[in-house]
Amino acid sequence: MVDETAVTDERTEVERLDNEYVFGTWSYQSEVDPTEAVGGDGVRFTDGAGNEFIDFSSQLMCSNLGHSADAVADAIAEQAREGAYFAPGFATEARARLGEKLAEITPGNLSKTFFSTSGTEAVEGAIKIARMYTGKQKIISRYRSYHGATHGSISVTGDPRRLMAEPGVPGAIKAPDPYAYGSTLDPMESLEYIDEMLMLEGDTVAAILVEPIVGSNGILVPPDEYLPRLKEIAHDHGALLICDEVMAGFGRTGEWFGCDVFDVTPDIMTMAKGLTGAYAPLGATIVTDEIAEYFEDEMFSHGHTYAGHPVACAAGLAAVETYEAENLIEHASEVGDYLGDRLEELGEAHPSVGDTRGVGLFRGVELTADPDERVPFGTREDKLSMGSTVVDEVSTAAADEGVYLANMINTLIIAPPLSITEADVDEAVAALDTALEVSDAAMNR
């Protein structure tokens, strides 16, 4: 049992105030015990007690540029001084230039963007656009998915956190995932299941919504032929393909976007997180020429006060220019291969590592209490329960070794800033090597 008085006595003033006056997200408030973060530099950040950590998960898989992207910080300051806000009916250079840049770096004929303030809002926009464009209402998504916290986005989310928000928005239908390690269906069999779902739903499905590489539900990488075939299936049934690139986008996979790994252009793409490197809240929903043309003579019935906020768009433009100027996409691919090799070595050294998978700097280490039976330490139900899991304990042990590591359900999520070096990887992997002794020992509990 934790001594609450001792915990309180050790808190910084900021930690105490935050705990008393601010809701902790996705948690029982009695278990919230926030750590103060006071600054960062490159791939590292510091807490209120002066401890330094390698940010091995880019916070919530969003600080793609690390913690010292000066060009982005300068762009924010300059735009805030010149004109911090104008209503969406006004054009600003930051918004216009960023729209042009996204049309340039996204695949195929994706060309016109609606700017919002988060990934969940980007997905909300995608759902509305798909429904307006097709005249249909249903959205097929997958069970091991996360698309956001607002009502529409959480409704199409498969993650168990959606359960407390149900009943959600009508028309949200769940499909199986391409999960080779822990599903009863082969990844390509899950595609045929989706094909049959579309047939049985009749001509009522507006879109299939997927993360090209699933993020917070396990870093699930489908076979190479999966996403191209999924697009074919969607179009065969008169549905659109929406790719949620909120987590996989902006170099995380060693390509600009996750769908680039599979050479697929979706009809609609959502993005956020790495769009500004988390320096400002900004989401974006980009559509193909055909969809953009439709709204020339049909009302685009969507918008909000902060659509295309100038300061956020200035951050986004500076972030994209930084990715290009520092060659970070190619760097992420090269160092990502090295990271993958090092994680495979960990898997061979630790019996509690059931699977390592991923692309580029977007990796997952799935833990197991029994590798033969693939028994997980953590389950989906744990996301809704009090207490910590073995996977939480491994993350805590990594923090004790100076490495911040996010985890979701039963998977350690490794997604460091794109500027990470092989030496940084070696240091972080050494810490993880020590931390995994916790899960190795737990196999015998």
The pLDDT of residue 5 is above 80: no
Q: What does the pLDDT read at residue 57? A: 98
For the chain, domains (ranges, CATH) are 35-68+327-442 (3.90.1150.10), 70-325 (3.40.640.10)
Q: What does the pLDDT read at residue 166? A: 78
Which of 33-47, 265-279, 382-396 is least confident? Answer: 382-396
Q: What does the pLDDT read at residue 386? A: 77
Q: What does the pLDDT read at residue 378? A: 75
Q: Average pLDDT, stretch 252-258?
A: 98
Determine if the peptide bond prior to 176 is cis (ω within 30°).
no
Tens-place pLDDT, residues 419-433:
999 999 999 999 999
Q: What does the pLDDT read at residue 141? A: 97
Q: Average pLDDT, stretch 47-56?
A: 96
- H or E stretch at 174: strand 172-175
The tokens of 398 are what? 């990594």
Query: How many Cβ atoms are within 10 Å of 439's Cβ, its own excluded?
Result: 24
How many whole angstroms separate alpha carbon 157 and alpha carbon 175? 11
The pLDDT of residue 9 is above 70: no
How many whole angstroms separate alpha carbon 123 and alpha carbon 364? 24
Q: Average pLDDT, stretch 129-144?
A: 97
The pLDDT of residue 383 is above 90: no
User: Which residues 6+ apart lie within 8 Å of 276 measured at CB?
Assistant: 72, 282, 312, 315, 316, 319
Listed in order, strand segments (DSSP E) in 325-405 are 353-359, 362-367, 403-404
The SS3 of residue 311 is: helix
**Residue 382: pLDDT band by 50, 70, 90 thresholds?**
confident
The pLDDT of residue 246 is above 90: yes
User: Which residues 6+ apart lie within 8 Å of 214 measured at CB?
Assistant: 142, 144, 145, 177, 220
The pLDDT of residue 6 is above 70: no
The SS3 of residue 298 is: coil
DSSP secondary structure string, 22-64? SPPTTS-GGG--PPPEEEEETTEEEETTS-EEEETTHHHHT-T
The tokens of 147 are what? 């698309």
**How far from the centroid of its chain's Cα atoms is residue 127's Cα?**
18
Q: Are 43 and 419 in contact (CB under 8 A)?
A: yes
**Residue 445: pLDDT band by 50, 70, 90 thresholds?**
low
How many whole angstroms separate alpha carbon 74 and alpha carbon 62? 19
The pLDDT of residue 86 is above 80: yes
- H or E stretch at 271: strand 268-271
Q: Average pLDDT, stretch 124-134?
A: 98
**Residue 208: pLDDT band by 50, 70, 90 thresholds?**
very high
Percent of the chain predicted with pLDDT > 70? 98
